Amino acid sequence: MVPISLHCAIQELKVGVEQGLAAYGLTTCNHAHWHLILDAPFGWAFLKLVELEPSQTIIVSDNPCPEYKCDLHKLGPVALLNRVSIEKLVAIIKQIQTGERHFARYPLPHLLLKSA
């Protein structure tokens, strides 16, 4: 499996995820082709994604706001995930590295309301 570059603003979370990925045989390095952004704290993925190639980037965000996730999706990451275990994340990374795209299904915001 190809190494991945892990980006996270919370160092303790980054270290924990790196260890989890390593337990499944996935190594991380700073200059890898593929990028994994952990959106922590919320909003950080928007700041980091402008520095990276979206088509080579996976974002994990547990922000519950559907509009927020729609905005992230519009930026074009190869995957947008939420509530994913390390085991599932590694499996998805393997699939993405072979050409698949993944997006969690989110309810779209209701922009129109019924009139009385």
CB neighbours (10 Å) of residue 56? Answer: 15
Question: Is-contact 80 61, C-beta < 8 A?
Answer: yes
| pTM confidence score | 0.85
pLDDT for 104: 57
Distance CA 23, CA 52 (A): 26
The answer to the question of residue 77 being in a domain is yes
Q: What is the pLDDT of residues 15-45, one digit of tens each?
A: 999 999 999 999 999 999 999 999 999 999 9
**What does R_g of the chain's alpha carbons equal in angstroms?**
15
CA geometry: angle at 105 spanning 76 and 2, to 5°? 55
CATH number for 20? 3.40.50.2300
* β partners of residue 34: 4
Distance CA 32, CA 22 (A): 15
For 19-111, list the strands marked E by DSSP. Answer: 34-38, 57-60, 79-81, 102-103
The answer to the question of residue 108 being in a domain is no
Which H or E element spans position 112?
A: none
The answer to the question of residue 114 being in a domain is no
The answer to the question of residue 113 being in a domain is no
Q: What is the pLDDT of residues 40-81, one digit of tens each?
A: 999 999 999 999 999 999 999 999 998 899 999 999 999 999
Distance CA 69, CA 79 (A): 11
The answer to the question of residue 69 being in a domain is yes
Domains contained in the chain, number: 1
pLDDT for 1: 78
pLDDT for 39: 97
Question: Is-contact 14 38, C-beta < 8 A?
Answer: yes
Domain that includes residue 90, residue range: 4-101
